């Protein structure tokens, strides 16, 4: 055991319960896998402040290919995180917006982002030290 704070201990306990499930039935594994794909969370955060259109997303995430943009948006839509609204104008416009479910993940992902921005210098330091030792 370590000395961990109460919040961490609670999460660890929940995790241990979840981790005991058969692999296919562990909902956490499934969600972590989804989050873990290269673009999903990036798009969720890019849509976090306002709904956006297809090419607007391409501009704001310049290093995503249009194929992966389409594909990731479809997956997010299928998972109920993003809603797709077509405007029947000429030329057609398509707007993507977070659903309430999609919005609800902003906070937990936000904590991770917060952790990242606070601790990435430590990670960088650790890497330099590790590589120097090797």
Partner DNA sequence: CTGCATCCTGGAAGATACTG
Partner DNA sequence: CAGTATCTTCCAGGATGCAG
Interacting residues with DNA (CB under 7 A): 37-39, 53-56, 63-68, 70, 73-74, 84, 91-95
The answer to whether residues 59 and 69 touch, using CB atoms and an 8 Å cutoff, is no
User: In angstroms, what is the minimal distance from the CB of 28 to DNA?
Assistant: 16
How far, in Å, CA of 13 to CA of 22, rounded?
Answer: 17
Q: CB-wise, 8 or 94, nearer to DNA? A: 94
User: Does residue number 101 form part of the binding site for a second copy (CB under 8 A)?
Assistant: yes
How far, in Å, CA of 77 to CA of 72, rounded?
Answer: 8
User: In angstroms, what is the minimal distance from the CB of 10 to a second copy?
Assistant: 7
Count how many residues are written for the chain: 134
User: In angstroms, what is the minimal distance from the CB of 92 to DNA?
Assistant: 5
């Amino acid at each position: 055991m370590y000395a961990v704070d109460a919040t961490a201990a609670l999460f660890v306990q929940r995790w241990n319960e979840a981790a005991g499930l058969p692999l296919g039935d562990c909902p956490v594994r499934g969600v972590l896998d989804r989050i873990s794909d290269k673009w999903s969370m990036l798009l969720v955060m890019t849509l976090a402040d306002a709904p956006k259109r297809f090419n607007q997303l391409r501009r704001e995430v310049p290093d995503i290919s249009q194929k992966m943009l389409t594909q990731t948006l479809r997956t997010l839509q299928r998972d109920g995180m993003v809603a797709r609204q077509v405007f029947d104008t000429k030329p057609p416009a398509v707007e993507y917006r977070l659903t309430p479910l999609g919005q609800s993940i902003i906070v937990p992902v936000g904590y991770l982002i917060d952790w990242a921005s606070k601790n990435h210098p430590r990670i960088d330091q650790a890497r330099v030290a590790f590589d120097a030792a090797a």
